[in-house]
């Protein structure tokens, strides 16, 4: 802005003897120069227009400022310069926009629909030894901590508890709480949740309600699982509206002839494509050598007759 101010003053000083109609006050040229320089190099020309009006208290400089900022922006954009090192050239380059473009259904699902029940919730004012036992029983390495009223306080990790327990000074729970572990509100959509989890070191987050009570937890695996189910649900609706081709989710029972048989050796109908296999909490990308196990959930794409036949094969012996 200082450089822009000097440029504006220099323009006035050079042209004032030649063009007397410029006036004897350099202030307007200084302000327009400041805004042109700052608006172009910060890539915020519209915001600068508001700054001009606020700084001068009048709209008389809006038109010359628009011309100056517009020309300066065209010059700066040719060299792709910006004063901010991490500034992106356009909205399309932002991680949030890329996520929403590649996974559009994320904007339709909220955290409350994708979250999982919290396996362990620590309550103050229990001691750290009790917290450590609860986390071991819940088989978690970190857990949300709530106050006696059930309000979210932060997150306590097992590593911090073990380190504090080994200290000679004795455990201090208050010093172990990580209040920077950001919670997620239950009404937030999954595109925002995914951006939060991928832009911070945390791989999961506590889901809270309007009163900051922990109602569940959400991780990237929960988002992927819910997205896949949402997509399958939409495909089923499309298939029900018309056409003979659709997608189906089929569970393999223990007495099915498909159990313990590789996909390439099964009697699955030729018109059926197995797109994914869900086994417990894992999602497997199937190949010809993939062996089907009891309890697997097959994501199959094909004609209605072929899907019906696959469903019968998966449920009982033929």
Instruction: Give pLDDT tens digits for 215-250.
Output: 999 988 888 888 777 777 766 655 554 555 567 788
Quick one: average pLDDT of 250-270?
85
Q: Is residue 121 part of a domain?
A: yes
- What is the predicted pLDDT for the residue at 216? 92
Give the residue numbers spanning the domain of 172.
104-223
- What is the predicted pLDDT for the residue at 245? 58
Measure the CA–CA gap between 81 and 38, rounded to whole angstroms: 12
Q: Is residue 93 part of a domain?
A: no
Is 138 strand, coil or helix? Answer: helix
Peptide bond between residue 125 and the one before it cis (omega within 30 degrees of 0) = yes
Q: Is residue 193 part of a domain?
A: yes
- Range in 29-33, 86-90, 301-305 the model is least confident about: 86-90
Residue 142 sits in a domain whose CATH number is 3.10.580.10
If asked whether residues 218 and 248 sit together in one domain, one would say no
Quick one: average pLDDT of 175-193?
83
DSSP 282: E
Q: How many domains does the chain have?
A: 3
Query: For residue 310, what are its two tokens?
Result: 């696959």
Quick one: average pLDDT of 281-285?
72
- What is the predicted pLDDT for the residue at 244? 56
Q: Which residues touch 287 (CB under 8 Å, ≥6 apart)?
A: 263
If asked whether residues 204 and 117 sit together in one domain, one would say yes
CA angle 144, 146, 148 (to 5 degrees): 160
Q: Of 83, 60, 77, 72, which Cα lies nearest the Cα of 33? A: 72
If asked whether residues 59 and 128 sit together in one domain, one would say no
Ramachandran quadrant class, 216 (left: phi over 0; alpha: psi -120 to 50; beta: rest): left
Of residues 219 and 166, the one with the higher pLDDT is 219
If asked whether residues 202 and 127 sit together in one domain, one would say yes
Confidence of residue 186 (pLDDT cuts 50, 70, 90): very high
CA angle 93, 66, 73 (to 5 degrees): 40
Strands 272-279 and 282-284: antiparallel
Q: Is residue 67 part of a domain?
A: yes
Measure the CA–CA gap between 262 and 249, rounded to whole angstroms: 19
Confidence of residue 97 (pLDDT cuts 50, 70, 90): low
Best-predicted range by mean pLDDT among 57-61, 151-155, 303-307? 151-155
Say whether pLDDT at 99 is over 90.
Answer: no
pTM reported for the whole predicted model: 0.49
- The answer to whether 217 touches 207, Cβ cutoff 8 Å, is yes
**Torsion angles phi and psi, residue 189, rounded to 5:** -80, 160
Q: Is residue 239 part of a domain?
A: no
- What is the predicted pLDDT for the residue at 241? 47
Quick one: average pLDDT of 187-214?
84
Instruction: Give pLDDT tens digits for 140-160.
Output: 888 898 888 889 988 888 888
If asked whether residues 42 and 108 sit together in one domain, one would say no
- What is the predicted pLDDT for the residue at 124? 82
Instruction: Give pLDDT tens digits for 14-27.
Output: 988 888 777 788 88
Quick one: average pLDDT of 273-289?
78
If asked whether residues 110 and 208 sit together in one domain, one would say yes
If asked whether residues 215 and 250 sit together in one domain, one would say no
């Amino acid at each position: 802005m200082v450089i822009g101010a000097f440029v504006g003053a220099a323009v006035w000083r050079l042209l004032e003897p030649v063009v007397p109609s410029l006036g004897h006050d350099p202030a307007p040229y200084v302000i327009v120069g400041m805004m042109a320089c700052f608006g172009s190099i910060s890539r915020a020309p519209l915001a600068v227009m508001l700054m001009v009006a606020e700084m001068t208290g009048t709209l008389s400089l809006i038109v010359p400022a628009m011309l100056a900022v517009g020309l300066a922006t065209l010059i700066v954009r040719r060299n792709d310069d910006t004063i901010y090192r991490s500034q992106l050239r356009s909205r399309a380059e932002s991680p949030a926009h890329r996520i929403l473009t590649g996974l559009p259904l994320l904007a339709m699902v909220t955290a409350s629909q994708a979250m999982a029940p919290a396996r362990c919730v620590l309550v103050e004012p229990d001691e750290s030894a009790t917290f450590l036992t609860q986390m071991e029983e819940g088989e978690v390495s970190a857990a949300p901590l709530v106050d006696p009223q059930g309000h979210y306080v932060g997150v306590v990790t097992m590593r911090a508890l073990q380190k504090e327990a080994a200290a000679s000074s004795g455990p201090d729970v208050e010093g172990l709480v990580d209040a920077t572990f950001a919670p997620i509100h239950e009404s937030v959509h999954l595109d925002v949740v995914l951006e939060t989890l991928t832009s911070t070191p945390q791989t999961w987050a506590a889901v809270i309600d309007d009163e900051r009570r922990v109602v569940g937890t959400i991780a990237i695996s929960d988002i992927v699982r819910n997205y896949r189910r949402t997509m399958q649900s939409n495909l089923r609706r499309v298939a029900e509206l018309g056409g003979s081709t659709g997608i189906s989710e089929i569970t393999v029972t223990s007495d099915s002839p498909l159990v313990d048989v590789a996909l390439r050796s099964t009697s699955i109908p030729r018109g059926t494509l197995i797109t994914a296999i869900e086994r417990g909490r894992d999602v497997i990308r199937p190949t010809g050598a993939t062996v089907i196990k009891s309890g697997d959930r097959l994501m199959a794409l094909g004609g209605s007759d072929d899907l019906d036949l696959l469903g019968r094969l998966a449920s009982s012996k033929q």
